Amino acid sequence: GEKVLHHEPFMLKQRYANEEHSVHFSVPMFEPLPPQYFLKVVSDRWMHAETTLPISFRNLIMPHKFPPHTELLDLQPQPVTALREPRFEQLYAHLKSKTFNPIQTQTFTQLYETDENVLVCAPTGSGKTICAEFALLRMLASAPKGTKPRCVYVAPKPAIANSRFADWSKRFGDGLGLEVTQLSGETAADLKLLERGQVVIATAEQWDVVSRKWKQ
């Protein structure tokens, strides 16, 4: 039998009847892939006022269901001295081996030596925060003299934002002289913190509120 994958009301007013309208929605795809789906538009006021459009999947090429993860290469650990800046190297003086771990080593070049967009996905405790710090240090190293580069760190939870603020206030604030700020959730105060801060720490909810005020 037929299964309804999506339905929603759509109002078409007479004065706009001759204009083009767009309705956007998503539906799941199942395996095995059916030969086609049917799109139906039915009037809720008039009998027999409906139309059906078949959507064929005969020539549809689906993407891989589960893209393979990036292979972790067996690389020589990247030494802290690869930062080539004594101030930056001092930030990682606490590392016993004076080298970065495998994930940090593999992402180092893209994050610290290029301006490419990078998405790093790895388990909890694998050192992703230091990967983020590579990008932050890249921003500082490549900023023209006399400018005030800025970045935003968005944390998933308030506890993580608090922890990051405490750590970075000491290391980047005291260590590098950066203005590290943490948003509070109060819009007026946060806009001032955003203007003042070079490293701004916020939760996703706080950043959503502030970013809606970007014209200010």
pLDDT in tens, the chain (216 residues): 689 999 999 998 989 999 999 999 999 998 888 999 999 999 998 899 999 999 999 999 888 777 778 899 999 999 999 999 999 999 999 999 999 999 999 999 999 999 999 999 999 999 999 999 999 999 999 999 989 999 999 999 999 999 999 999 999 999 999 999 999 999 889 989 999 999 999 999 999 998 886 655
Tokens of 181: 């700020």
Longest dimension (CA), the chain: 78
Contact of 164 with 129, CB cutoff 8 Å? yes
Measured CA to CA, the distance from residue 109 to residue 180 in angstroms comes to: 25
Measured CA to CA, the distance from residue 169 to residue 175 in angstroms comes to: 9
Q: What is the DSSP letter of 45?
A: S
Tokens of 23: 């309705």
* Per-residue CA distances from 115 to 2, 85, 160 (Å): 50, 18, 26
Tokens of 50: 């409906």
CB neighbour list of residue 27: distance below 8 Å, 6 or more residues apart: 5, 6, 37
Give the model's pLDDT for residue 66.
74
| pLDDT tens digits along 60-117 | 988 877 777 889 999 999 999 999 999 999 999 999 999 999 999 999 999 999 999 9
Total-model pTM: 0.69
